[in-house]
Structure formats: structure tokens, C-alpha cells
Amino acid sequence: MSRRFTAGAVATATALVMVATVPTGAATAAPTRSTEYTVVSADGVSADAALAAITAAGGTVVSRTDGVGLFQVVSDRSDFAKRAADSAVLVGAAERKAIGHAPKARLEKVEREELQAAAKTAGKNNRRGPVKADPLDDKLWGLEMLRATAARAVEPGDRRVTVGVMDTGLDASNPDLAANFNWALSKNFAKDLPDVDGPCEVASCVDAVGTDDNGHGTHVAGTIGAAANGVGLSGVAPKVSLVELKTGQDSGYFFLDSVVNALVYAADKGIDVVNMSFYVDPWAFNCLNNPADSAEEQAAQQATIKGMRRALDYAHARGVTLVGALGNNHEDLGAPRTDSSSPNYGGTPHDRPIDNSTCWDLPVEGPHVIGVSSLGPSGKKSDFSNYGVEQISVAAPGGWARDGFGTPSYLAAGNRILSSYPVKVLKEEGLVDADGNIVPGNEGVVFKECQTDGRCGYYTYLQGTSMASPHAAGVASLIVSRFGRPDFRRGGLTLSPDLVEHQLLRTAAEHACPEPRLQTYTNEGRSAEFNALCEGDENFNGFYGYGIVDAYAAVTSPLQPWKRP
């Protein structure tokens, strides 16, 4: 899961604010030009009624997402937000405004932890994956943990099954991804914001599909469905179709409007599975009424909660299986620590005690989301991974650089997850030179694989629950491939998300809590804050959920009816 950001230059973003709960006497700054807003309608209000109210308040709708009651609006009225809040049929309006924090790096420290230093230990790595199908597959210990190679002999995936990669984009120039890339369904929902993402690459600031200026999405996509084509490496489900749903900014922010619109699109287009390795900015936890936050900040979080729940419900009801990363903040999501990182834009981060009954980490704590924790090669919970019986569903390989303390593999590059990565980003990171050659000294952490026609793919290591979630999403797509039925309305195959989840969870390999149950990571150089208590039994516990995802069992065990609890 991509957790970003340190203080930096002023940037711009969209924050959804329920201004109806902000004191009516609050001052409204007069804009000097037309201003963009995101407007949310109240529950049960028709689109026509909302449109009429927006017009009456002085706004013009430029786009709309009727399924969840979101509207993009422009207005030159200085009092538009207040007028919208005063309407009985609108929840409120949010202005696209200047914010005070921007990223210095695309990926969080967890995901890139000491990677370049690990190049020196690459030769010591003793992690081995399955027998080679593609040249780099023997480095994919995650496939071995999932029994993915055995599963592939039974069910490699079906081209009619679509997996939406809700992320920063997807580099379709990589031969492993090009083979399975669905150009027709892929779409960009996250227009570049120059103050956040840097100069736009194209005049419209809307990056072309098939590109990724961050790298995170391309890495996730390769784990799900890189083709078994004799080059590079292969994914968990090497014959499914990959759909780019660009919801993340190049800088790594994930804004509410992009995420909601992508979920609705996935539902309407019949996409079978979506992977969500992120949290919705700017709040690590969205709370209904946290007293540490201002009235405006409380309103923004209330709107995020409402908007995300609507979108997740909408997608699930229309056949989308939702898979999400549990997060990299090394905490029990049922007993969260004080949040000191939020908001990561739009205000000053401050200490926020988190009330578990009124605060949620979204999307993973939203309805219908299969939450995935991260494991290292040894099968131990990664020190950074969130956990807890309240939100976890299953565990999957996410990598852990510090696994194997006291052995030659400790801090080895191969303790992480190897997957596809854009050459453009590797050049910007100084790992590949202008001619496309790996910079000397980095051969153990970056790999280049070329086809006979001269097209090349690039690969590198990352770690995180962001890397665990796509392993589970890949297995979910195998379940749809194996047991799905024709979707006569939208084409392809379809399978109830409840059935997919039930099959994924019941076939996971049960794993008991470690002994002692209170795991410490002192030897690995971590503070007491990383100590983690595993609660539960072998059938279900806070580290492994219902177990480690098992691709082979998922496609060979008969599908069982699911009964609502």
C-alpha cells in the first residue's frame, strides 16, 4: 500500500468536504475566477433533483457519476459552497484548492527499503521460486508459496476474465504486460496536476493509457497477470486480461473522485476483480467526528466515508470482487495507534487519537473488501504489515527485506517481490542509463529481458502489502476463470463476488499464530512500536486471517454455495 509524503512545495488536489457540518458563519473566500468543486448529493436524492439544486446554487455540472451521487461542478459564485450546503438535497461541495504538502518520492520508504544497498548481497540470496517457466520465475518465491505453478497446470486464467488495476497506471510497452493488456477497457481517471505531479507530458494533462510515470501500478500488474511467454517473468494468472484503471496521480496520491469514478466504471463495464493497493488521501483514517480535527476536516472525512461506501457497495452489487492491501503502518487495525501523519495535504499533520468504532482506513476497511496482509519468504508476517482479526481476510507474499535474520539471506534483494517496472522510471531513479542499460552495481536489483524483435521489459524488487494484495487478486481471477459463467449482458465471464471470496478464504492454507504470540522485531532493528500480538486460532487469526492464499486449492476444490451469515 502506497503511503507517501513529506512536506514540500504547495500543491493542488481535490478534497471532498461536507460543508453542511461547517459552521454557517464561517467566512467564504471569494474566488477570482471560476472554481471547480466536487458535489455530493444526499442519500435517496435523484440525479435530476441534485442537478436542479446545483443549478439553483449557481453551479454548472461538467461531469457526473449518478450511481453514487457525485458531480463535478464549476461556479464563479463566491458563495457557491455555502449555497450548496444550505440545500436539503446536497451533502456539500468541495473546492479544488491549494494544499500544503507534496511528495519528495514516488514510493514510500517501506516499499523501497534499502534496495540499492541490497544489490551487494544479491549473490547471497537463497530464495528460490518455482521451476522456470519464464527466465526470471526462479526468483518468484511468492508463486511457490501460493502453489501457483501447480495451479497454472489446471487453470492459467481465461482471457475473458478482466482484472482492474486501480493504481498509478500500467506500462503496456513491457512484453509481459502487452500480451494481456486490454486496450478497449483501460481508462485514465486521474488527470495530472502539475503542482503535484510535475509538468504534464501531454497538453491535456491526461496521460495515455498504457503508461505509468510512477511504477507502482506496473509492478502490481505484473504480479497479477504477467504473461508466461518465455520472456521476463510470469504472474499468478498469466492468461487473464489486465485493465488499467489509473486512479493514482504520478506522485502517488489517490483522490476520492478518481477512486469512486473508477469503481463505478469497473462495475458498469463488467470487470471481474479489482486490486486496490492504496489508501484514499489525505487521511490515514477517516473519522466521523474526531475532536482533534477542525469542523471542516471532520466534514471532509464524513464525505469520504459516504462516497467510498457508496462506490464499494455499487461495485460489489454488480459483480466486482474487491481486493485491498491491509497497509504498511505495522498496527492492529482493530486497535489503531494515534495517527500523526494526517492530513498529508490540505493542512498540517497533527496527533489524532483514533476511535476504532468511528474511524476507517479506506478502502480496505470499507464494505466487501478482501483485506490482505504481507508475508516474507519464511512465512512470517512482514514487520511493516498491518494485521488484526477485525479486518484481515487472508495473507499473501508481500516481501520482507529483513526476513532471515542471522542467515545469509538477511536484507537480500530477493526477500522482496520481483515484478515489472517502467524503464522511464528506472532511468529517473538512476538505475538504468539513457541507452536502456542497467547502471553497473544495480544488476542484482534490476533485470532487463528482451525479445527477439528487440522489445525489452524491465523488472525490479518492491515490498509491501501493495505487493501482497495482487497475489490474492490474481488467485481471485483464477477462481472466476475456473468457475465463472458467461455474462450474456456484458460479455466475458462472471461470478458472484461472494462466491469468489468464499472460495478464496475457505481454500487458503490455515496457519496458526507463531509462538510466542507477541512477536518482536528487535533483532531486525525495529523499535517496540513494531511489536505485534497475534490473536485467534489456526482457523482464523490476526496475522494470517483464514490462511495463506493457495492458488492450487482454489482452482481444484469444488466451488461451494455461499450462504449469507
Question: Per-residue pLDDT tens for 17-26?
Answer: 333 233 333 3
CA 530 – CA 203 distance, rounded (Å):
46
User: What 8-state DSSP symbol labels residue 185?
Assistant: T
Torsion on CA atoms 70, 290, 5, 93, rounded to nearest 10? 20
CA 433 – CA 441 distance, rounded (Å):
12
- Is the pLDDT at 29 greater than 50, yes or no? no
CA 16 – CA 255 distance, rounded (Å):
9
Asked if 70 and 101 touch (Cβ cutoff 8 Å), the reply is: no
Please say whether the dihedral angle defined by the alpha carbons of residues 489, 224, 369 and 207, taken in this order, is positive or negative. Answer: negative
C-alpha separations of 252 from 105, 279, 283 in Å: 9, 10, 14
Asked if 286 and 298 touch (Cβ cutoff 8 Å), the reply is: no
Q: How far is CA 369 from the centre of its chain?
A: 12
Residue range 146-195, pLDDT digits in tens: 999 999 999 999 999 999 999 999 999 999 999 999 999 999 999 998 87
Q: Out of 190-194, 212-216, 356-360, 521-525, pick the least confident.
A: 190-194
Q: Sheet containing 60-65: which strands, arranged edge to edge?
A: 11-14, 90-99, 35-41, 70-75, 60-65
Q: What is the mean pLDDT of residues 327-339?
A: 97
Confidence of residue 410 (pLDDT cuts 50, 70, 90): very high
| Mean confidence (pLDDT) of the chain | 88
Identity (one letter) of the amino acid at 550?
D
Name the grid cell of 139.
526468483
**323: nearest Cα among 272, 360, 359:** 272
Asked if 53 and 118 touch (Cβ cutoff 8 Å), the reply is: no
Q: What is the mean pLDDT of residues 265-284?
A: 94
Q: What phi and psi values does residue 141 have, to the nearest 5 degrees? A: -60, -25
What pairing do the DSSP bridges indicate for beta strands 417-420 and 456-462?
antiparallel
Q: Out of 250-254, 524-528, 533-537, 556-560, pick the least confident.
A: 250-254
| pLDDT of res. 456 | 97
Please say whether the dihedral angle defined by the alpha carbons of residues 158, 162, 165 and 171, taken in this order, is positive or negative. Answer: positive
Q: Sheet containing 273-276: which strands, arranged edge to edge?
A: 187-188, 241-246, 162-167, 273-276, 321-325, 369-375, 394-397
Q: What phi and psi values does residue 499 have, to the nearest 5 degrees? A: -65, -40
What pairing do the DSSP bridges indicate for beta strands 485-486 and 369-375?
unpaired
Asked if 298 and 287 touch (Cβ cutoff 8 Å), the reply is: yes
CB atoms within 10 A of CB 10: 12
> 465-483 and 497-506 are packed helices; what angle lies between their axes, rounded to 10 degrees?
110
CB atoms within 10 A of CB 86: 15
| pLDDT of res. 106 | 52
CA 199 – CA 203 distance, rounded (Å):
10
Name the grid cell of 267.
462495475
* pTM for this predicted structure: 0.90
CA 529 – CA 239 distance, rounded (Å):
42
Q: What is the mean pLDDT of residues 412-437?
A: 97
| pLDDT of res. 160 | 98
| pLDDT of res. 19 | 30
Name the grid cell of 230.
518465455
Name the grid cell of 553.
486449492
Asked if 16 and 307 touch (Cβ cutoff 8 Å), the reply is: yes
CA 193 – CA 248 distance, rounded (Å):
11
Which runs of E-coded beta strand occur in 444-555? 446-450, 456-462, 485-486, 493-494, 518-519, 532-533
- 132 versus 511: which is more confidently predicted? 511
The H or E element containing residue 110 is helix 109-112
- Is the pLDDT at 27 greater than 50, yes or no? no
CA 387 – CA 335 distance, rounded (Å):
10
Name the grid cell of 498.
461472494
Q: What residues have CB less than 8 Å from 482, skipping those under 6 apart? A: 154, 155, 554, 555
Beta bridge partners of 274: 164, 322
Confidence of residue 84 (pLDDT cuts 50, 70, 90): confident
CB atoms within 10 A of CB 509: 18
